Amino acid sequence: MVTDRSIIFFDIDGTLLTEEERTLPESAKKAIFKLKELGHEVAISTGRAKFLFEDLRKELGIDTYICYNGQYVVFRGEVIFANTLNQESLNKLTTFALNKNHPVVYMNDKKMTTNVPNDHPYIEESISTLKLGVFPTQEQDFEKYNEIYQGLLFNTEGEDEIYRETFSEFDFIRWHPKSLDILPKGISKAIGIKKLLEYLDFPAERQYAFGDALNDIEMLQLVPNGVAMGNALPEVKDVAAFVTKDVNDDGILYGLQHLGLLPEE
């Protein structure tokens, strides 16, 4: 066991999982188990809904996680923070989006639904890249009767500014050329991490995070030892304390060894 325990947060897509195939490199899997064996706290920090990475949590034996981009925080299986989208504002956004023929997907803690036919090309194109094997079901008014932790808006790049101007109570974070996350203003993975760290006693120098996308920026800025993957966007690399190798090139293992969290083999 290590004498100086650290906490390490890992994004999923493009960080733990490869960008194209969404597979977990064997080197990353072994690295996670080695971290846990050494006594470190390992957590997932993702924009995914909780039901969209259950298999990965089981495979890695991780029961501490932040999902919905900071909206939902679980510590060792116990929910310690949950925040929802404002229903009235979400209803207004839904009407606005439908008038522009822009689909919306809603996610609670069990499933995701959409207000248009679920074979809409924007929905199919973007969600298929995640290799989930599931697509949202079509359910009218789902958002009116359920707690929604995160939404997805589907449009093309350049069509999102009108939403930012009209709905200042939301943040819109693009994760695909045809899709954006819908979050409460100011919510991010960093907020979720802060909520979790209120429960834990890790000094700043023992806090680490790995990420690659726009929704990882606040997380890497918050955590002193923020690591950008080699395949990360330039904006993400700019805020990181260290840039490791590509996810396809054993980037997780290399980064952990560089930081001294794992011994070099």
- Residues with catalytic roles: 11
Other Cβ atoms within 10 Å of 145 Cβ, number: 9
Left (φ > 0), alpha (ψ -120 to 50) or beta: where does 228 sit? beta
Mention every residue, 6+ apart, whose C-beta is less than 8 A from residue 27: 250, 252, 253
The C-alpha atoms of residue 211 and residue 77 are separated, in whole angstroms, by: 23
User: Could you tell me the two tokens for 265?
Assistant: 């083999």
Phi first, then psi: give them for residue 67, nearest 5 degrees: -135, 180
The per-residue b/e assignment along 2-15, b for 16 or more CB within 10 angstroms, e otherwise, is eeeebbbbbbbbbb
